[in-house]
Structure 1
């Protein structure tokens, strides 16, 4: 799992989040926590798009390098700097064998069907969500 730098700025009721390693990838929320949560989702979607387009995903910048870069001086002013955990999508499926309780598999299959996705897709999405908050 990698961690990318995020800038959170704003005031109560209106917070924004941006990622210096991914210009244009921004989000917002009414609270700092909501902005970070929405930012994680935005960054994940941004990374998925990069992988689908064949665009290389940059390695995370070091906090010290961002702080020393005059290009980010304005964004850093008054911002909270945080690290956001990301599992970079690899774009290549890998078949695995797992053992789950039969009743749980039935519930997963029903939920996947309702969501219009496969069992694998459902489990992958659930794992991504769990890893984003870890």
Structure 2
């Protein structure tokens, strides 16, 4: 699931990120890349809080719907529009069956060993980076 975000940059400030479908959820970063990384973490944390309060999780609208919504006219002005993935840690791991080419599996194991990670931790880390884009 991805949420549309607005990125703004004022002079002498970091990049700021807000989510039209998740009021109150904001993030910032010195670079756009850092701001988006922080935005993904803020989004997951904010959604966790919404669920803990027993409130419904906002359904993300498409970028086209957000951009055509007149209530966001001011927020859109000068903004870069981005798509931020919602990736949550649910506190539980599960075993899965995945088929990989043997050469790729060996490369994964070598890289994981060099990083002092398990195969699972390495794959999870790589997938998170790929989803974050």
- Normalised TM-score (structure 2): 0.67
Paired residue secondary structure (1:8): strand
Paired residue for 2:50? 50
Aligned runs of 1:1-134 on 2, under 5 Å? 2-11=1-10, 14-87=14-87, 96=95, 130=129, 133-134=132-133
Q: Which moved more, 1:6-15 or 1:21-30?
A: 6-15
Runs of 4+ in 1 over 4 A off after TM superposition: 91-98, 125-132
The whole-number CA distance in structure 2 between the counterparts of 1:3 and 1:73 is 21
Q: Between Structure 1 and Structure 2, how many residues are aligned?
A: 118
* Maintained 8 Å contact 2:2/2:60: yes
Distance, in Å, in 2 between the alignment partners of 1:45 and 1:75 is 23
Q: Which runs of 5+ in 1 are unaligned?
A: 109-121
Q: TM-score, normalised by structure 1?
A: 0.66
Distance 1:97 1:88, change over 3 A: closer
Separation in structure 2 between the aligned mates of residue 68 and residue 57 of structure 1, nearest angstrom: 22
Long gaps (5+) in structure 2: 98-108
